[in-house]
Structure 1
Amino acid sequence: MIRRFAAVAALPVLTAVFAFGNAAPAHAEGELSPVMVVLDSSGSMTARDVGGSGTRMDAAKRAVGSMIDSLPAQAPVGLAIYGAGTGSSGSEKAAGCRDVRVVEPVKAVDKPAIKRAVNAAKASGYTPIGRSLLTAAAQLPKEGQRSIVLVSDGEDTCAPPQPCDVAKQLHQQGVDLHVHAIGFRVDAKARAQLACIAQSTGGTYHDAADADALLGVLGRVTDRALRHYEPTGQPITGTADPFTAPTMTPGQYLDTLSPVEERFYAADLKAGDTAYFAATAIFPRGNPRDLEVLDIKITGPGGADCYRSERELHTRAKQDGGALTTVLSWNGTVPGSSKPKGCSVPGKYVFRVTRDAKDGTDRVPLELQLRIEPPVTGSFGEPAQTGLVDFAQQPAGTVRPVRGGGSFNEATTLTGAGRYGETIYNGEELYYRMKLDWGQGLAYRVTFGAVPDAGTTNIRTGLFSPVRSEIKFDTTAYTGTTNILPSSGKAIATPRTAYLNRNASDAVIRESSIDGWYYIVVKLGAPFAHEAGGVPVTIDVAVAGDKVAGPAYGTSTGETPSSPTPSTETPSASQSTPSGSGTTAGQGSGGDTKPAADKTASSLPWIILGAVLLLIVAIVVAVLILRRRKSAMPQTPPGYPNGPGQGWSNRP
């Protein structure tokens, strides 16, 4: 369950988007991809785990067991173990370097069999990483998305073959084969080798400093490998000091965050800018703690306290995993906003991000988005909308099959109104997206089908704006009978999107002041007893409204812009900007950035000239009629290039 808290010391925050485009989904829709897990059982795994009550092997067994328990029943997962069949003496090296055993081939996961094999393994032998990669790859299909998840506490002790060379060879065989490596308390040399393996195949490398960290990382990496998901963004490292924070430009970034640290990031804001800073933390199933908090606070130039923070809570992070997103919007430099002194001027603003926990060493991926909206210097577009999209009738037609993505980045596109369906498994959080232009809105509901003898768990759905702000959600318990969310019987709905919606007191209307991708998220929690084995879900979506003109954005400058007064009247054609223009700095209606009042005044001379021309036309037509009565061959007057009735030449 996710709850929202906010501390505000100013006017209601505007919510809109300008910079940072929305990319297409990064994954191919389809079934879960096959994964081969490779576990280190070499002699070094007998070392004591720091802070733990057992050995590294004991920690690895617990981590694998937790990961296996959390997998969907149909997940195609296999397991190989190296180093468990021989000792580590010199006389045993030849046999030890061949000691890679496939415990379970890649198929619908046999959880009891894998757990028995892992629990029976004894750490004793060598570390043939290169050979284990070749063995694992041979267990996977020859094409399509597929992954190897490698856990090791040290470097290869059997080369040749060199593990990094093997990884490069595997990558040449197919770009859809990725190796994700986890270094369990490794030194610098082993870390470099494992990172090379991951980087050579387009995979990822993760450090695990202790048992808790390994438990979290292994679950997360395997989960994302199955669902075609990896956190994405330009690498960035936030600082512990706000005055040395890296300066971000609009875009998406990727960092990591532990439970006990602060990370600072900066952005330069000009007069009239509105900034939208979103942080998304991604938690694995089997997260070390249930309660996770993601907090963002903003300070102004020179460290001025802006008295503004946003906070989101996840109360089932351990059982359910998933993502937690917090968004902070700031419009302090916009004329007319009443913000604290020192936070209403152009300059460098700093965002502090914390998980706000008491202890722990586990790190989670942290996606960061910065979006900047410049001032509106022309038309605001349509007036504010007050009514929500109607969902009186369920969309008709057959249910179209879809395969949801695992994140905002990989959300599956819904192509319009209709019915969409798939199967969701325990612990999954699926993302879908729909494009709403200015003037369009949506309504939807989700039906979780009946599954006899399914275990009790939670179900949830939420609708997110293009800046990842949650507009509305609903959640309830699922016990195997048919459930419809929202449980009230009403759909989750938006009004038609309009820039001026941001001034509304109603949060749903206020959040619908942006055009772009809206995200529908559907979640089936981890079971309290046994798994459901897959629950059919149907998403019914209604879309209303036609694409209309949006706001005419100006250019961010260091000067205070002359901001027009918002109007509640429908703009005329001469005041509107075609939808899509104004989404790049400096664009407006024909490049004109004058306020709407100036545009109206400047059009007056043309109105007078048009009236004079119409009067002239009337006189000419009257003359022609008189002449036609006198002649069978009338003259075509100037200004009628195609003859009477075929269109006036509208030259000034």
Structure 2
Amino acid sequence: MIRRSAALVAASAVIAAFSFANAPAASAEGELSPVMVVLDSSGSMTARDAGGSGTRMDAAKRAVNSMVDGLPDQAQVGLAIYGAGTGSSGSEKAAGCKDVRVVQPVGAVDKPALKRAVTATKASGYTPIGQALRTAAAQLPKEGQRSIVLVSDGEDTCAPPQPCEVAKELSKQGVDLHVHAIGFRVDAKARAQLACIAQNTGGTYHDAADADSLLGVLGRVTERALRHYEPTGKPITGTADPFTAPTMTPGQYLDTLSPVEERFYAADLQAGDTAYFAATAVFPRGNPRRIEVVDIKITGPNGADCYHRERELHTRAKDDGGALTAVLSWNGTAAGSSKPKGCSVPGKYVFRITRDAKDGIDRVPVELQLRIEPPVTGSMGEPAQTSVVEFAQPPAGAVRAVRGGGSFNEATTLPGSGRYGETIYYGEELFYRVKLDWGQGLAYRITFGGRPDGKTTNIRTGLFSPVRSEMRFDTTAYTGVTKILPTDGKPIATPRVVYLNRNANNAQLRKAGVDGWYYLVAKLGAPSGNDAPGGVPVTIDVAVAGDKVAGPEYGASTGETPASPTPSAGPSEPTPSSTGTQGTGGVEPGGDAKPVAAESSSSLPWIIGGSVLVLALAIVVAALILRRRKPPAPPMYPNGPAQGWSNRP
């Protein structure tokens, strides 16, 4: 094994002093995916709307202008119009079938310019849907989550190209390009064509019977298109052979997985290290397979079987899409480890990821995270906790408006105790984060408000640790009446975060052995049939309890056995057992959905605000370097010890 240089060891000691200082996220909170809106301005849009208040084009203009008014300032939205540049006579067909005009390229939203362009549009020509889809796709980035929102009152009148064939072309550009189609007073044939476009790109289809419904549907669909899970990370390609696996250093990576495939990745572990390896697979709505599985297994140097794996299931991948995360932790090289002999020595360890989905789509993106924690060479901090925190009464004050992000990477920060609220749309999974320093804990609950016209579907919430290990979840059916999660009336909560929690007998307590960003996820499932009108109001009540205390004193792992005590031989943060589940809706067997049995739960009041952190100069410099920059691979742990052990953004 190669030892670190003296300079690197010295640097490790300096950075270790600022462990878990929690620098800002590398990507913007609540970052929105780019969207291209495509509007039908063909001659049929001159027909009178059912409501008698004008033409279909008038209704479409009102809907688009209302949608534009509701766009967040940071939205990246463009607009294309087809059928407005020619007439609909036979002699004009050749020109009319090329008549697709980009009136606003995808970029920072310019609301006045968008509304002026829409207002000036006149309906007159043909319906080149296939060509419009190609034009819109060309305006979007070549990678990353992106969407097209198509509004049409009829079927294509210019094929070829056939719109469904174009949709299949677009699907080959990646599973993260979606087309959401809205049929405005369409007949059965046009509806089938538009639905085909949506289904082939993992998008959604919606009917709008009149001006009022179009007004609601367009805004809702565009809002949802802006918030999708956008996988990020440094590109990496795992191998089919464990002995040629690429060696990872701590950070976040991005690969893809076929329906039935195993891939291998390696990491060098030194004496005393604890490794956390997370794999987050991202599934689009419309995934052919209802149940998806992600499995991680570890082998030691020279292929030694470590007899340790983690396996997670997503039970509603077909209906809801969304993310599925499996996490494997390993501290076999710690002093006193009882792991198999071939897996308790420093060296190259290999992680195998398997996706089991025989009838799944071709490939899905998979985020990979490697986090390595050096051994503790001094104090381990406070004793382990025996209970989770509680709150004595709900928070006071008004509900603060927030916009949840579409992924772990874009989770919106909730700055401390209080009440937060927004609207969640059917099929959405929204991410929020709360920072916990050593000595702090949190408790929360989510209220899904009632809607008289709400559709029956599933709701879900989950709490994830800084290494993406799910600590607890709860789920139930939503039928349009107010529902509160957890359903047992007790909040989902952590103990106060201390290093020695990892030795607790209770799995939920063990996972609070890491300080940093804790993630709250809210999910509203997709109902069967057409989408429901409007969204569902959600309120998140959060309590952060406890004062910041001194944490563990990390040292640099140098290949030598640490002189000071190390934690017990059990994994530092065990993830759910191989029989556990993590679906994004519905009731999944085997999950730990029950609250921790508190031996002496502290009844803590709601604390308004949060701690003020004074960051050392080294952290300030690092934050300045990273600020406003979105590299291909976000610096996952910019502020921890040299091996990358710190809080993910």
- Shift in Å at residue 36 of structure 1? 2.1
Contact 2:168 2:201 in 1 (8 A): no
1:165-198: per-residue Cα shift (whole Å, max 9, x none)? xxxxxxxxxxxxxxxxx994599xxx9xx89xxx
**Quick one: distance in 2 between partners of 1:477 and 1:128?**
37
1:399-418 correspondence runs (5 A): 399-418=399-418
- Shift in Å at residue 216 of structure 1? 5.1
Which residue does 2:551 correspond to in 1?
A: 550
1:76-110: per-residue Cα shift (whole Å, max 9, x none)? 9977679xx99xxxx987665446699xxx99xxx
**Quick one: distance in 2 between partners of 1:509 and 1:458?**
27
Contact 1:549 1:579 in 2 (8 A): no
**Quick one: distance in 2 between partners of 1:478 and 1:205?**
29
What amino acid is the match of 2:552? P
Number of matched pairs: 458
Which residue does 1:540 correspond to in 2?
A: 541
- Shift in Å at residue 121 of structure 1? 7.1
What amino acid is the match of 2:363? R
1:413-432 correspondence runs (5 A): 413-432=413-432
**Quick one: distance in 2 between partners of 1:79 and 1:456?**
35
Which residue does 1:166 correspond to in 2?
A: none
**Quick one: distance in 1 between partners of 2:167 and 2:500?**
51
- Shift in Å at residue 563 of structure 1? 3.7
**Quick one: distance in 2 between partners of 1:183 and 1:564?**
60
- Shift in Å at residue 217 of structure 1? 5.1
**Quick one: distance in 2 between partners of 1:26 and 1:587?**
18
**Quick one: distance in 2 between partners of 1:128 and 1:396?**
49
Call closer, same or farther: CA 1:393–1:129 in 2, change over 3 Å. Answer: closer
Unaligned runs of 5+ in 2: 1-17, 41-66, 72-76, 104-108, 112-125, 151-165, 179-195, 206-220, 569-613, 620-638
1:325-360: per-residue Cα shift (whole Å, max 9, x none)? 000001111111111121111111111111112234
Query: 1:377 is paired with a residue of what secondary structure?
Result: coil
357-366 or 211-220, which deviates more: 211-220
Which residue does 1:294 correspond to in 2?
A: 294
- Shift in Å at residue 29 of structure 1? 4.7
**Quick one: distance in 2 between partners of 1:364 and 1:212?**
20
1:150-549 correspondence runs (5 A): 184=168, 215=200, 225-227=225-227, 229-529=229-529, 530-531=531-532, 533-549=534-550
What amino acid is the match of 1:404? G
**Quick one: distance in 2 between partners of 1:128 and 1:226?**
18
- Return the TM-score normalized by structure 2: 0.62
Query: 2:260 is paired with a residue of what secondary structure?
Result: coil
- Shift in Å at residue 494 of structure 1? 0.7
Query: 1:247 is paired with a residue of what secondary structure?
Result: coil
**Are 2:549 and 1:564 aligned?**
no
**Quick one: distance in 1 between partners of 2:644 and 2:168?**
52
Query: 1:239 is paired with a residue of what secondary structure?
Result: coil
- Shift in Å at residue 27 of structure 1? 3.7
Contact 2:502 2:512 in 1 (8 A): yes
- Shift in Å at residue 392 of structure 1? 2.4
Which residue does 1:583 correspond to in 2?
A: 640
Which residue does 2:575 correspond to in 1?
A: none
Call closer, same or farther: CA 1:357–1:418 in 2, change over 3 Å. Answer: same
What amino acid is the match of 2:535? G
Contact 2:145 2:229 in 1 (8 A): no
- Shift in Å at residue 586 of structure 1? 9.7
Contact 1:99 1:128 in 2 (8 A): no
Call closer, same or farther: CA 1:291–1:339 in 2, change over 3 Å. Answer: same
Call closer, same or farther: CA 1:321–1:131 in 2, change over 3 Å. Answer: closer
1:6-54: per-residue Cα shift (whole Å, max 9, x none)? xxxxxxxxxxx97997652734559997532599xxxxxxxxxxxxxxx
Query: 1:342 is paired with a residue of what secondary structure?
Result: helix
Contact 1:285 1:320 in 2 (8 A): yes
What amino acid is the match of 1:496? R
**Quick one: distance in 2 between partners of 1:510 and 1:429?**
26
User: Cα RMSD (Å) of the superposition?
Assistant: 4.6
Contact 1:27 1:228 in 2 (8 A): no
Query: 1:266 is paired with a residue of what secondary structure?
Result: strand
- Shift in Å at residue 560 of structure 1? 2.3
1:561-597: per-residue Cα shift (whole Å, max 9, x none)? 2241669xxxxxxxxxx99999324999xxxxxxxxx
**Quick one: distance in 2 between partners of 1:587 and 1:282?**
25
Call closer, same or farther: CA 1:364–1:80 in 2, change over 3 Å. Answer: farther
Call closer, same or farther: CA 1:389–1:215 in 2, change over 3 Å. Answer: same
**Quick one: distance in 2 between partners of 1:483 and 1:278?**
32
1:19-98 correspondence runs (5 A): 23-24=24-25, 26-27=27-28, 29=30, 34-36=35-37, 96-98=97-99
1:612-651 correspondence runs (5 A): none
Query: 2:495 is paired with a residue of what secondary structure?
Result: coil
- Shift in Å at residue 386 of structure 1? 1.1
What amino acid is the match of 1:548? V
Contact 1:377 1:554 in 2 (8 A): yes
329-338 or 356-365, which deviates more: 356-365
Contact 2:266 2:349 in 1 (8 A): yes
- Shift in Å at residue 310 of structure 1? 0.4
Query: 2:265 is paired with a residue of what secondary structure?
Result: strand
1:420-452: per-residue Cα shift (whole Å, max 9, x none)? 000111000010000000000000001111111
Contact 2:33 2:230 in 1 (8 A): no
Query: 1:261 is paired with a residue of what secondary structure?
Result: strand
Unaligned runs of 5+ in 1: 1-16, 40-70, 108-119, 138-144, 152-181, 196-202, 568-577, 589-652
What amino acid is the match of 1:583? G
Call closer, same or farther: CA 1:361–1:327 in 2, change over 3 Å. Answer: same
1:450-472: per-residue Cα shift (whole Å, max 9, x none)? 11131111000010000000000
**Quick one: distance in 2 between partners of 1:31 and 1:267?**
33
Which protein is bigger by CA-based radius of gyration? 1
Query: 1:332 is paired with a residue of what secondary structure?
Result: coil
What amino acid is the match of 2:473? F
What amino acid is the match of 1:559? E
Query: 1:426 is paired with a residue of what secondary structure?
Result: coil
**Identity rate of aligned residues, in percent?**
65
**Quick one: distance in 2 between partners of 1:205 and 1:586?**
35
- Shift in Å at residue 363 of structure 1? 1.3
Query: 2:356 is paired with a residue of what secondary structure?
Result: coil
